[in-house]
Amino acid sequence: MLKILKYSFFDLMRSRWSYVYFAFYLLLGIVLLFLNNDLSKAVITLMNVIIILVPLIGTIFGVMYYYNSKEFTELLLAQPLKRSSIFLGQYLGVALSLSMSLILGLGIPFIFYGLFQSSAIWDFSLLLVTGTFLTFIFTALAFNMALSNENKIKGFGYAILLWLFFAIIYDGVFLMSLILFEDYPLDKLSLVGTMLNPIDLSRTLILLKLDISALLGYTGAIFKKFFGTNFGLITSLSMLSLWVILPVLRIVFKAKRKDF
Amino acid sequence: MVNITNLHKKFNKNKVLSGVNLEIDNSGIFAVLGPNGSGKTTLIKSILGMVIPNKGKISVLGKDIKHSSAYRHQIDYLPQIANFPSNLKVKELIKMIKDLRGKTKMDLELIKRFKLEPFLDKKLGTLSGGTKQKVNIVLTFMFDSPLIILDEPTTGLDPISLIQLKELIQSEKSKGKTILITSHIMSFVEEVSDEIVFLLEGQIYFKGSTSALKIKTNEQDFERAIASILKENHA
């Protein structure tokens, strides 16, 4: 698996798009720091960008990489390699190179700005950790969609729909259900609802870390009570890990049964 | 060498293989023939584990291939369409496959044989179809495996390379290897193969030597013998 990972990773590192992605974050980081001059405000703006953009890029890159490397995959399948190691190697290659673009692209300007002397370092690290989680989650989901669909257009379409669902539609449905059932106690329900969507979960995690939960009113207080504790943090991080593990298991399962 | 019992495979509703039984024990060159869509490539890909059969058992060198990947160390496979990652150089691709499969020195000799030296630093995406096929052949033959599977090996080759390929196949045969070939070029099949496996509608219609096939169909010419099978079964 490590050999496949190595080849996929270097293949992507040589591609133009990795540099574009890296340069984008570099630029974003620099612009935010110079226009804002306030580290924690920059982190909030970054969060808003990351929460939507990272899953989208993970989805697009994952699907594109799978379909574009089809020939390479077929070449590998005839070699004495396990199917699971071929696909996991490719998946990790994509996810790692994307995460690296994100971490380096944002990290470099912030280090120059003096992140290590600032108190925002934990908020910033949490931002990068959730960003990396989101990359791994959505790349895995994209691989799932691509593996299940022979047709490129369909696979691409479903993957984008999945992103759209988690990024936008889910929130809408969630909000509607909260309004619909407003006569009932909803704190448990909204907690569970937040946990079930990796994008919402990441957003809540960062927002509460930034101590602006007061803006969220009563719900914010309940959320703070849960997410603010170590137990909440650990639960959220394990939930995010579960969001990585389950799609990855399905990649292995699907890959074993697929005809090429 | 290769043992297939009661192999079934369908893609959605399309039945491709329905109860193939094939036993190849000795060394030599076996040609898998059949009309388009008769399941030749599916059969070959099943042996390679790229297609997962619905039913049946395949064993290579006495071992069941289900849930196994190590047995592919014993197989050299030449895929039908040489589609390689296009941003890789020829040299890098050869190095990569060597890295994945193990060390070999035979690649240098093969590169010389097919005169690929000037292309080593070129990207695979820029090569012509024939040159890609030559690279494909180098990748296939550079490992010394007892079983060789060639899917349409002659595609795109010029006459000189074709002669080189035939010589190469014969020299591998003389080492006591088993070679499976599919091809639509009947003259090539007749020239190189020792035995024919004829697939028709997902089953093995005939297995035997070319002369036995000519006797069976009452034809003098090999190409006509094949054509007569097809006509009979379509009439």
The residue of A71, A90, A258 whose CB has the most chain B CBs within 10 angstroms, and thus the best one to mutate to test that interface, is A71
Question: If we measure between CA atoms, which residue out of B185, B183, B137 comes closest to residue B41?
Answer: B183
SS (H, E, C) A99-131: HHHHHHHHHHHHHHHCHHHCCCHHHHHHHHHHH
Task: Give the gap in angstroms from C-alpha A7 to the nearest C-alpha of chain B.
Answer: 8
Q: If you compute the radius of gyration of chain B from its CA atoms, what whole number of angstroms results?
A: 18
> What is the percentage of chain A residues whose pLDDT exceeds 90?
43
Instruction: Dump pLDDT digits (tens) for A2-57.
Output: 888 988 888 888 788 889 999 999 999 888 888 877 777 778 888 888 899 999 99
User: What pLDDT does A222 receive?
Assistant: 72
Rounded Cα distance between B69 and B72, Å, is 6
Determine, for residues A80 and B99 on separate chains, whether the beta-carbon distance falls below 8 Å. Answer: no
Phi, psi of B103 (to 5 degrees): -75, 150
pLDDT, tens digit, 9 for 90 and up, residues A144-192: 999 999 899 999 999 999 999 999 999 889 888 888 888 888 778 888 8
What does the angle CA B123 – CA B124 – CA B129 come to, to the nearest 5 degrees?
A: 135
ipTM value: 0.84
Contacts of A2 in chain B (CB under 8 A): none
- Contact between chains at A7 and B96 (C-beta distance less than 8 A): yes
pLDDT in tens, B188-226: 888 888 898 988 888 888 888 888 888 888 888 888 888
Contact A78 B72 (CB under 8 A): yes
> CATH homologous superfamily of domain B2-234?
P-loop containing nucleotide triphosphate hydrolases (3.40.50.300)
Of the pLDDT bands very low, low, confident and very high (cuts 50, 70, 90), residue A99 is very high
CA distance B94 to B86: 14
Is B46 in contact with B209 (CB distance < 8 Å)?
no
Which pLDDT tens digit goes with each residue over A211-244?
665 566 666 677 777 777 778 888 889 999 999 9
For A79, which of B83, B88, B100 is closest by C-beta distance?
A: B100
CB count in 10 Å sphere of residue B228: 17
User: In angstroms, how far apart are the furthest CA atoms of chain A?
Assistant: 61
